[in-house]
Structure 1
Amino acid sequence: MRSKLVYCSAVLLAVILGLGTRAYGNQLPSFVSEHFGDALWAGMIYFGSRVLFTRRPLWMSLVLSLGFSFGIEFSQLYQAEWILEVRATTAGGLILGRGFLWIDLVRYTAGILFCYWIDRILCNRSRMI
């Protein structure tokens, strides 16, 4: 149960930081405001998968979160009117995105790999204690 709380906290932190990059983007360095929001979104997906699959290996969450994130990005190629209306809402835009960009795949990969790396370090450290 403790690990689920830690992962839920990580999800919440990723959400807060990600929304912060959107809300205060004009006050952040352009590299941060352009790239960190998507990387944090993907990191949130990784930590969310850890909440669901706490007892599974870390690599499983890595693969699932990459697949989910890439699936969301590729779904943006679908341009039916009903989905465009959903994406036009704040929640729809934050969850589903607005338009396909190849660079988003790089941002998602970087965010997920960074969170996976942090997770591995902390998991290894907690086993030593």
Structure 2
Amino acid sequence: MFRFEKIYFTFTVSLFLIEVIIAVFIDDVVIRPHIGDTIFVILLYCAVKSFFEVKTIPLVVAVLLVCYMLEVLQYFDIIGIMGLKEYTLAPIILGKSFSWLDIIAYTFGAVMIIWLEKENNYNKDIKGNT
């Protein structure tokens, strides 16, 4: 069902800005590839939750599958196949190469979402009963 959730939208915009900052200003071996991938999963989740009422676990699984699919496409050099190697944004958006560490980073982001949502719902239940 369609609905607008201001808090998730705020998280989406904030996480997007963080991702842009990482992409533009940071070129290292930890933050850009791994923290960026972890944040990306949370960003996609928040973007969907901003506009649709979806249960946590099915959405986390869907977002995780999308991220895994993007990683598999990197394995098959989708940017090269599509002839997009000379464009600056294509590798930033789609990624350059497959990495098992990226899969782990995506999975960690999904686990963080589940944990944060569980904590958030737990705190709502406590406050609601007081």
What TM-score comes out, normalization by structure 2 length?
Answer: 0.76
Q: Is the 8 A contact 1:46 1:116 kept in 2?
A: no
1:25 maps to 2:23: no
SS of equivalent residue, structure 1 residue 89: coil
Name the counterpart of 2:56.
58
Shift of the alpha carbon at 1:65? 0.9
Q: State the superposition RMSD in angstroms.
A: 2.5
Distance 1:32 1:96 in 2: 17
Aligned residues between the structures: 124
Moved more, 107-116 or 90-99: 90-99
Q: Which amino acid aligns with 1:48?
A: A
Shift of the alpha carbon at 1:23? 3.0
**1:74-121 superposed Cα distances (whole Å, 9 cap, x missing partner):** 111233545241x65344323321211111101111122213322222
Q: Which amino acid aligns with 1:49?
A: V
Q: Which amino acid aligns with 2:64?
A: L
Moved more, 67-76 or 4-13: 4-13
**1:2-39 superposed Cα distances (whole Å, 9 cap, x missing partner):** 6x22111111111111222233326x8x6434421111
Q: Quick one: structure 1 residues 33 and 98, their matched pair in 2 at CA, closer, same or farther if it must change by over 3 Å? A: closer
Q: Is the 8 A contact 1:69 1:108 kept in 2?
A: yes
Task: Map 1:67-82 onto structure 2 (within 5 A).
Answer: 67-79=65-77, 81-82=80-81
SS of equivalent residue, structure 2 residue 116: helix
Give unpaired runs (5+ residues) of structure 2.
none
Quick one: percent identity of the two aligned structures?
17
Q: Is the 8 A contact 1:7 1:50 kept in 2?
A: yes
Task: Map 1:87-106 onto structure 2 (within 5 A).
Answer: 88-106=86-104
Structure showing the higher helix proportion among its residues = 1
